[in-house]
């Protein structure tokens, strides 16, 4: 199974590069985040024409939103309302013979890493806490993917010291993510293929005039699996070139091939 996860930053605005990705890389399952579209306006026919006719979508107007598109029939899908905010930040699918695939869009957290003065940061920490409690009781084989909006390790960012007070790499967020990972012994698939002492990014800001030359990236996108699936991933790559496609997302797709 070839799985690709991608924060698309508005799916309807980027249909040409979604088509480019699917035609060039042929995913069996494509997990998108930040789709920014209500369910009844989601471009289902477009995905059917691309050979991904089976869809599980969870959207809302203008903000957030996740969608999973599959070549194979989806037997069941469900959503969890994290923090009881009604946000479209999660959708899970069950495909026959495959682990359950959970597609997440974790809150970014705003600009100020202080939950006392920043409600968005407080929301992010609550979201991670709920994910941790959920992970502790999770049963069965699962794959967790998506934009988790945290770069946990020193070489997941372009400059560890400079970003210690920047939301996405602050110690409180990193500690929360590591606690979350420990709760289910989640396996960090990307770091199985790229050692932790090597730079690994999936996001580059729009603000850089030449994002590739500056290379001030962060690894905000993740693919994790249950410990029972250790060794099932046989290939991983960040499709960095996609960050330079026409009208790109600020995230690059992450591709993982599994052999079940």
Q: Name the residue with higher pLDDT: 53 or 209.
A: 53
Which residue bears the tokens 């968005």? 120
**pLDDT reported for residue 40:** 97
Tens-place pLDDT, residues 64-87: 999 999 999 999 999 999 999 999
29 pLDDT band (50/70/90 cuts)?
Answer: very high
What is the average pLDDT across 176-197?
98
- In 3D space, the residue among 243, 258, 102, 115 whose CA is nearest the CA of residue 173 turns out to be 115
Overall number of domains in the chain: 1
Containing domain of residue 11, as a range?
2-258
**pLDDT reported for residue 15:** 98
What is the average pLDDT across 148-174?
98
Domain of residue 25, CATH code: 3.60.10.10
**pLDDT reported for residue 212:** 97
97 pLDDT band (50/70/90 cuts)?
Answer: very high
């Amino acid at each position: 199974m070839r799985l690709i996860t991608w924060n698309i930053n508005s799916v309807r605005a980027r249909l040409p590069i979604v088509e480019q990705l699917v035609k060039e890389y042929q995913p069996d399952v494509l997990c998108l985040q930040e789709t920014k579209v209500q369910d009844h306006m989601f471009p289902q026919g477009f995905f059917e024409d691309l050979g991904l006719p089976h869809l599980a979508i969870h959207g809302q107007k203008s903000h957030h939103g996740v969608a999973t598109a599959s070549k194979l029939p989806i037997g069941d899908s469900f959503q969890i309302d994290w923090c009881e905010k009604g946000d479209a930040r999660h959708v899970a699918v069950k495909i026959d013979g495959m682990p359950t695939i959970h597609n997440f869009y974790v809150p970014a957290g705003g600009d100020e890493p202080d939950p006392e003065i920043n409600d968005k940061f407080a929301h992010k920490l609550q979201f991670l806490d709920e994910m941790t409690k959920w992970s502790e009781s999770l049963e069965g084989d699962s794959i967790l993917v998506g934009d988790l909006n945290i770069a946990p390790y020193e070489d997941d960012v372009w400059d560890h010291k400079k970003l210690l007070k920047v939301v996405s790499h602050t110690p409180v967020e990193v500690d929360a993510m590591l606690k979350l990972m420990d709760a289910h012994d989640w396996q960090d698939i990307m770091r199985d293929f790229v050692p932790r002492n090597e730079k690994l990014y999936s996001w580059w800001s729009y603000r850089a005039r030449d994002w590739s030359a500056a290379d001030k990236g962060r690894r905000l996108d993740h693919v994790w699996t249950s410990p029972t699936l250790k060794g099932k991933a046989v290939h991983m790559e960040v499709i960095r070139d996609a960050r330079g496609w026409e009208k790109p997302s600020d995230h690059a797709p992450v591709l993982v091939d599994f052999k079940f």
